[in-house]
């Protein structure tokens, strides 16, 4: 069966169709992609009408989806000359040249990603997922991005379920009536043991400040993705980007798809890939938002390499102010993922005495340590 894309094999073409369907708004995830591949392996593609019906069944969750499906199906499998794959769209350099450097970095298309750094080897199945957990963000290729998004969603969802426990069972405090009765029924209503529960923990508010200066180009795109996924699972999140100026991006994170979020932020990307004035930006943050956002239930997380170009004394002063108004002050530094890294920069030297936690943020594995921090808060 013909297909008009830049993929070389049918398997890649089928996965590319799932990506294309997802980009056009259909609810096609990793399960639907697997079902699509199964339909190909069983030879359904040899009977075009039957194959079309099978894909429609897989990709269409609602009646309204059918019209969209028919359009993209015809384009993908029938119309020659149309670019479909994500990789093909990245090759449209004429569009990229119109964008600012900051916009390109935010969309994960910065020229530094084409350097000579060793790329992550392509693997499959559980090995591939495990590799993406531990791969440095600067080494993730565009081919791996879809898998990265999926595993990021999965891991954060699992982390959320573990953290958001309704009650902690204990020996004291309020009687757990439901549990006591349930265990007493098999004993004929003899409630030999009284069970107790503790009050629900107060919800933490996360405040995330992401450094998007030029020195963070290799990491800011993936850290932004992680923040967007966190926002989908934690209701109380406030997010900001900073470099030489501060931008609140909380509202942009409320979009249902990551692509819409990136498109919205691309219009405000003029400060991306610029210099770094951490102290100045933190001062603006505390002055404008401190009283409203920071309190004893707030966990403030700064994601930055700490390469301050301003006065370290101003950075130190602002961290003291944040420390006084927040439950925990955390600094996640991508450079700390290197075994050779030492926090000898002026900015980090000024910051370290005021931090509750100083950890790495160079891959998914390092970011997932937030679970322990939040669980123990």
| Alpha carbon distances (Å) from 208 to 26, 101, 225, 240, 351 | 31, 23, 13, 6, 16
pLDDT of residue 57: 83
Helices 10-23 & 30-41 angle (0-180, nearest 10): 150
Check residue 59 and give its pLDDT: 82
pLDDT score recorded for residue 82: 37
The torsion region of residue 359 among left (phi > 0), alpha (psi -120 to 50) and beta comes to: beta
226-277 pLDDT, tens digit each: 998 888 778 789 999 999 899 999 988 888 777 788 777 776 666 677 788 9
Q: pLDDT at position 279, please?
A: 95
Residues in the chain predicted with pLDDT less than 50, given as ranges, are: 1-5, 80-99, 103-104, 107, 109-125, 166-171
| DSSP SS3 for 328 | strand
Task: List residues bridging with 301 in a β-sheet.
Answer: 208, 330
Whole-number pLDDT of residue 102? 54
Nearest-angstrom CA–CA distance, 159 and 365 = 12
- Find out whether 277 and 243 touch, Cβ atoms under 8 Å: yes
For the full predicted model, state whether its pTM sits above 0.75. no
Q: Which two tokens stand for residue 349?
A: 């030297």
- The β-bridge partners of 208 are 239, 301
Cβ neighbors of 241 (< 8 A, separation 6 or more) are: 209, 210, 211, 212, 220, 224, 247, 249, 271, 272
The pLDDT value recorded for residue 350 is 93
Give the other-Cβ count within 10 Å of 77's Cβ. 20
Dump pLDDT digits (tens) for 36-65: 777 666 666 667 777 788 888 888 877 777
Task: Output the pLDDT for position 265.
Answer: 78
């Amino acid at each position: 069966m013909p297909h008009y894309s830049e993929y070389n094999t049918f398997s890649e073409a089928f996965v590319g169709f799932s990506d294309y369907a997802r980009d056009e708004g259909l609810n096609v995830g990793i399960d639907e992609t697997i079902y699509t591949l199964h339909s190909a392996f069983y030879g359904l593609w040899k009977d075009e009408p039957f194959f079309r019906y099978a894909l429609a069944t897989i990709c269409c969750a609602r009646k309204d989806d059918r019209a969209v499906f028919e359009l993209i199906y015809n384009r993908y499998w029938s119309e020659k000359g149309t670019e479909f794959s994500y990789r093909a769209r990245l090759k449209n350099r004429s569009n990229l040249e119109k964008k600012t450097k900051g916009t390109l970095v935010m969309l994960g298309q910065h020229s530094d990603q084409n350097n000579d750094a060793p790329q992550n080897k392509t693997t499959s199945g559980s090995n591939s997922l495990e590799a993406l957990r531990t791969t440095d963000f600067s080494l993730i290729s565009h081919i791996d991005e879809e898998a990265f998004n999926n595993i990021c969603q999965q891991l954060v969802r699992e982390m959320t379920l573990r953290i958001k426990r309704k009650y902690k069972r204990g020996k004291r405090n309020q009687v757990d009536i439901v549990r006591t009765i349930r265990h007493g029924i098999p004993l004929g209503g003899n409630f030999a043991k009284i069970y107790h529960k503790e009050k629900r923990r107060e919800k933490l508010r996360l405040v995330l400040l992401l450094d998007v200066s030029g020195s963070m180009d290799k990491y800011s795109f993936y850290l932004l993705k992680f923040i967007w996924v966190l926002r989908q699972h934690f209701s109380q999140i406030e997010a900001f980007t900073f470099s030489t100026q501060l931008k609140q991006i909380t509202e942009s994170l409320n979009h249902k798809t990551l692509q819409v979020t990136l498109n919205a932020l691309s219009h405000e990307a003029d400060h991306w890939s610029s210099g770094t004035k951490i102290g100045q930006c933190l001062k603006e943050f505390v002055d404008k938002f401190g009283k409203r956002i920071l309190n004893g239930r707030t966990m403030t997380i700064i994601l930055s390499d700490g390469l301050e170009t301003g006065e370290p004394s101003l950075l130190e002063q602002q961290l003291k102010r944040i420390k006084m108004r927040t439950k925990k002050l955390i600094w996640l530094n991508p450079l700390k993922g290197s075994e050779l890294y030492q926090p000898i920069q002026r900015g980090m030297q000024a910051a370290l005495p005021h931090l509750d936690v100083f950890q790495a943020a160079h891959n998914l594995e390092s970011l997932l340590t937030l679970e322990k921090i939040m669980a123990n808060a």
